Amino acid sequence: MTLRLGDTAPNFQQESSEGSIDFYDFLGDHWGILFSHPADYTPVCTTELGFTAKLKDEFAKRDVKAIALSVDDVESHKGWINDINETQNTTVNFPILADKDRKVSTLYDFIHPNASETVTVRSLVIIDPNKKVRLIITYPASTGRNFHEVLRVIDSLQLTDNYKVATPANWQQGDDVVIVPSIKDETELKERFPKGYTAVKPYLRLTPQPNK
């Protein structure tokens, strides 16, 4: 299947490095990131999983649960986790799905046949508490992901959900944000954005980040 933004993230049951997992039960009412890896004992993946473990507190601040996927089995995952902990000076603190039968990879469109018929691409999906897909980003197998960008996107999505704002190009925490065009009533604008706003154009209105 092809997964698109706004779709309901498919549920699944699969074995993992932390036992059998029902994905919806794992997520609960939290945000989630599901990210795939071409195989165990690969160099780029080792650095990614180590860095993800180091971001535990950052994910917790944002109410995000991380879960990884590789097409190798549980025993392979456990040996690989030892290597990750040793080489990346961390402790892996999230499950790695053992997707040997490619069940989850197929559900989430992680196998791109023109890249490889058997190995997953380096995809990452952000899922909100309503189980909706909010971001899909795919890298080639040779390129490690930018997890600072993943955190930035989560911050942007949560701002949008909570304050009806969008974030402009290269936005970082503390920068001005954009008021969504659907808000036109001046009373609502004053209530939502007491710090005021600057109308660069009628459709481009900048306001200080509401939660700062």
Which are the catalytic amino acids? 45
Place of tokens 């180590």: 50
DSSP 183-199: ---HHHHHHH-TT--EE
8 A C-beta contact, residue 105 and residue 36 = yes
What burial class does residue 170 get, using C-beta atoms within 10 Å of its C-beta: 0-12 exposed, 13-18 middle, 19+ buried? Answer: exposed
Structure tokens at 69: 């996927």
Instruction: Catalogue the E-assigned strands of 57-111.
Output: 64-70, 96-98
Per-residue DSSP letter, 37: E
